Amino acid sequence: MSNVTAVPLRPVKRGYLVWLWLGLALALVSAYALARQGDDFLSRNARASGVVTTASGLQYKVIEPGQAGGPRPTDSDLALVNYQGQFLDGRTFDQSQQPTPMPVAGVVPGFSEGLKLMPRGSRYRFWLPPQLAYGEQGAGNGAIPPNSTLVFDVQLLDFRSQAEVMQQMQGMGGMPPGMGAPPPR
């Protein structure tokens, strides 16, 4: 049998334990803050159910799918849309009061990219990071601040090629038939 020598341990002072627990809590809070650093709105939104992020950084969610497998607008088309543009805090900066024709290639890059994903009759929500919206310059004489992430709710009513629209406008002196009303279902 071996002899074990017992070494008496001195009790730890209460003040040291308080500092130890405070240090541990501070380390946990710091670790959490570091883990969340860079976890901006778009990073969190990308993990939300139904949100798709494209290679360019555009995020979108299909609200109503529209005509499944139907054609989608291209850069050479004029789209007829209803839309509402908002900031992340929910303030509206622009919205259509009636169906609005928009050249697909003539809008900010993120809006154009989103339109080209939509079939007729669909309703999507787009989240445009600043580089796909108005970037560092902003827009509207300060109405849209620089580096703003924008949210658009868009309903694609119809689209036609710009050449077709111009040809019909020359022949009729106005908007072509069907471009002022939603498509039949």
Question: Tens digits of per-residue pLDDT, 72-107?
Answer: 999 999 999 999 999 999 999 999 999 999 999 999
Residue 35 banded pLDDT, cuts 50, 70, 90:
low
- pTM (2 d.p.): 0.71
Q: Please state the domain extents for the chain.
A: 14-39, 48-172
Q: What is the pLDDT of residues 150-177, one digit of tens each?
A: 999 999 999 999 888 888 778 776 555 5
Fold of 48-172: Chitinase A; domain 3 (3.10.50)
Asked if residue 78 lies in contact with residue 161, where contact means CB atoms within 8 angstroms, the answer is yes
Name which of 116, 126, 141 is nearest 84 in CA terms. 126
Asked if residue 96 lies in contact with residue 81, where contact means CB atoms within 8 angstroms, the answer is yes
